[in-house]
Amino acid sequence: MNVKELLYEGKAKKVFITEQKDRYLIRYKDDATAFNGEKKGTIDGKGAINNTMSAYFFQLLESRGIESHFVEQVSPTEMIVKRVEIIPLEVIVRNIAAGSLSKRLGVAEGTSLKLPVVEFSYKSDELGDPLINDDHILALGLASEEEITILKKKALQINEILSEYLEQSGITLVDFKLEFGKLDNGDILLSDEISPDTCRFWDSTTKERMDKDRFRRDLGNIEEGYKKALERVLGGER
């Protein structure tokens, strides 16, 4: 498939227009950022790991009835996806208190929540992706009430599928963020990525971090953490 031009470059990916109007090519980068871009760096091999893991999870979820924008992986760092209009919301699912939730609510990291918590943040780099509620979303016209319901339902279904799968690999899915996009007909598809950049993966026994927190918190062995997560996801520890 011929790539025509760069459509968008984000912190972790480049999106290219292709010769097919309903297909984009996504190229994952090794660039790493944290704290709304205040911390920057490079994680060697991250692009290939995130691309491969995302492709694997998209196919796993597709087999369980969750449709995504994924079409095919075409290189270690590239995939073809369906053209969607991204809904400007991040859908966050939390199973265990960590990160910003612990800071906001004073809950010790590692505290299991009595039920999965779904949060929304407004996708805006300039504003730092602030948390918003359903009323904000409706008032700003970011999504309809029906679409909010669909996003929550899909997020919880994805959480159940991934948590169960990862537990078999010795990984606890602490929390994660999702993005969704809309086709021209209005159908809502899972989009973006599912990777150590967007999920907190903890070793189920040792609580070792295998995700972006290794970069955020200067824990060291960042590349090894990402590689270990991928190996387990693909079946290395099953």
DSSP annotation string for 58-75: HHHHHHTT--BSEEEEEE
Residue 215 lies in a domain: yes
- Cβ pair 128, 35 in contact under 8 A: no
Together in a domain, 182 and 203: yes
Residue 35 lies in a domain: yes
Together in a domain, 181 and 122: yes
Residue 227 lies in a domain: no
Together in a domain, 105 and 67: no
pLDDT at 237: 43
User: CATH code at 27?
Assistant: 3.30.200.20
- As a whole number of angstroms, the distance between CA 21 and CA 23 comes to 6
Range of the structural domain that residue 9 is part of: 3-82
Residue 181 lies in a domain: yes
pLDDT band at 38 (very low <50, low <70, confident <90, very high): confident
User: CATH code at 115?
Assistant: 3.30.470.20
Together in a domain, 52 and 121: no
Together in a domain, 107 and 205: yes
**Which of the 8 DSSP states describes residue 45?**
T
Least Cα distance to 86 among 179, 21, 151 occurs for 179
Range list of β-strands (E), the chain: 3-9, 13-18, 23-28, 31-34, 39-42, 70-75, 78-82, 85-86, 89-96, 112-122, 131-132, 171-182, 188-191, 199-203
pLDDT at 35: 79
The model's pTM is 0.94
Together in a domain, 201 and 92: yes
Residue 235 lies in a domain: no
Together in a domain, 163 and 46: no
What is the tens place of the pLDDT at every residue in 70-98? 999 999 999 999 999 999 999 999 999 99
Average pLDDT of the segment spanning 120-137: 96
Residue 23 lies in a domain: yes
Domain count, the chain: 2
Domain boundary among 32, 67, 82: 82
- Cβ pair 91, 179 in contact under 8 A: yes
Q: What proportion of the chain, given as a percentage, has pLDDT over 70?
A: 99
Tally Cβ neighbours within 10 Å of residue 184. 9
pLDDT at 238: 39
pLDDT band at 39 (very low <50, low <70, confident <90, very high): confident
pLDDT band at 146 (very low <50, low <70, confident <90, very high): very high
State both tokens at 177. 């963020």
What is the tens place of the pLDDT at every residue in 10-28? 999 999 999 999 999 999 9
Answer yes or no: is pLDDT of 236 > 90.
Answer: no
C-alpha pair distances (Å), 149 with each of 22, 76, 144, 162: 26, 35, 9, 20
Together in a domain, 54 and 158: no
Residue 140 lies in a domain: yes
